A = this chain, B = another copy of it.
Amino acid sequence: MTVTIKDVAERAGVAPSTVSRVLSDSTSISQKTKKRVRRVMEEMNYVPNYNARRLASRQSQTIGLVLPQASDAFYQNPFFPTVLRGITEAASTKEYGLMLSTGDTPERRKKHVEAMVQGKQVAGLIFLYANDNDPILEFIKSINFPAVVMGTPENGQLNAVDNDNFSVAKELTEVLIQGGCRKLAYVGGDSHQYFVQKRLAGFKAALQEADLPFYPEDVYNDLTFLPRDGYQLMEDLLEAKDYDGLIIADHLVARGVKKALEVFHKHQVMTGTFKSFAAEPNPQDHRHPYFNLNSQQLGRRAVQILFDVLEDQANGSTRYLYEIVEAELMK
């Protein structure tokens, strides 16, 4: 039924080991033999059995992608598909496969990652999130398995790619200040997420440099990163407070905020937010600048870093790679 390396060998008049070497394009096989064997492979429509290959070679040529616990916010945010696009793109250049983690509970997620890792299904992992005290990440660190985290985890000792969240938020805040804003608020979200904290720090720094006061009560952090949160927050706030500028850590929240500003005719309020990709140039809207975080590039770089780590590992070297991806101010 299935054609194997043995069938090819027979037809080509060589040993199975030779066919195997042709398959991996070994330099120790003559061009002549390679050509002949390859022709036979074509003829017989041979495709190698990857399971056998992986078992024998102990190499999976596959990257495991670790998704966070499922939430509306994660799956509705363009970050995820955009990063994934960069990942598939980069993985395919080296002919690496991609495997998704699954599991609906923390336990099942961990179990599945263990099965991927210890079960020799993947050569390395990319985490599509960065929470502190994540049991899965802790486990991976403890066994020192090749992994790259998207984001900046609190304690180092691992490889990561991220934007410079501090600088990006600071710069954006400066834009609003230059635009005339004097009473600014920071609309965050889950303060356990590192990027929320970092962007807040950038926000503060900009205020300070501009000699504007910072009040903790102007930080709003109990949001689930969905548009409705931004909308509701504005509903509650707009009359009570008279902010003239808002730095919004999450793009979906910003969507809700802007909707509310429209509905309540607060056209003078400026906003600044962060997006995964450059939205099409809408009618010039100088009151709503944002940073394009270039999440696709983030995905590409994560893969590249993983490749580098894998190579380092093969060479016995151990170091941690941490890379910053440039963001672009759009105003």
A interface residues (Cβ-Cβ under 8 A, vs B): 2, 45, 47-52, 54-55, 60, 62, 67, 70, 75-76, 78, 80-82, 84-85, 88-89, 91-92, 97-100, 102-104, 108, 112, 114-116, 118-121, 226-228, 231, 256, 259, 262-263, 277, 279-283
Copies of this chain? 2
Beyond A51-B60, A92-B104, 7 extra complex contacts between A and B, CB < 8 Å: A47-B115, A47-B118, A47-B119, A51-B55, A92-B103, A97-B100, A228-B280
A218–B163 CA distance with the chains assembled, in angstroms:
45
Residue of B nearest to A109 (CB): B92
**Nearest CB of B to A330, in Å:** 14
Q: With a CB–CB cut-off of 8 A, which chain B residues contact A52?
A: 51, 55
User: With A50-B119, A119-B47, A119-B48 in contact, do A98 and B102 touch (Cβ < 8 Å)?
Assistant: yes
A100–B51 CA distance with the chains assembled, in angstroms:
17
Contact partner of A121 (CB less than 8 A), chosen from B97, B102, B227, B262, is B97
> Are B81 and A76 in contact, with the CB atoms below 8 A?
yes
A47–B118 CA distance with the chains assembled, in angstroms:
6
Residue of B nearest to A117 (CB): B47
> Are B231 and A121 in contact, with the CB atoms below 8 A?
no
> Are A280 and B47 in contact, with the CB atoms below 8 A?
no
Q: With a CB–CB cut-off of 8 A, which chain B residues contact A51?
A: 51-52, 54-55, 60, 120-121
> Are A75 and B82 in contact, with the CB atoms below 8 A?
yes
Residue of B nearest to A85 (CB): B75
**Nearest CB of B to A197, in Å:** 25
> Are A279 and B84 in contact, with the CB atoms below 8 A?
no
A80–B85 CA distance with the chains assembled, in angstroms:
11
**Nearest CB of B to A36, in Å:** 22
> Are A76 and B277 in contact, with the CB atoms below 8 A?
yes
Could you list some 27 contacts between A and B, CB below 8 A? Answer: A2-B118, A47-B115, A49-B119, A50-B120, A51-B51, A51-B52, A51-B55, A51-B60, A67-B88, A70-B88, A75-B84, A75-B85, A76-B277, A81-B81, A88-B102, A89-B102, A91-B102, A92-B112, A97-B99, A97-B121, A99-B100, A227-B279, A227-B280, A228-B280, A228-B281, A231-B282, A259-B283
A85–B47 CA distance with the chains assembled, in angstroms:
31
Residue of B nearest to A256 (CB): B280
A99–B50 CA distance with the chains assembled, in angstroms:
13
Q: With a CB–CB cut-off of 8 A, which chain B residues contact A92?
A: 102-104, 108, 112
A283–B228 CA distance with the chains assembled, in angstroms:
10
A27–B91 CA distance with the chains assembled, in angstroms:
42
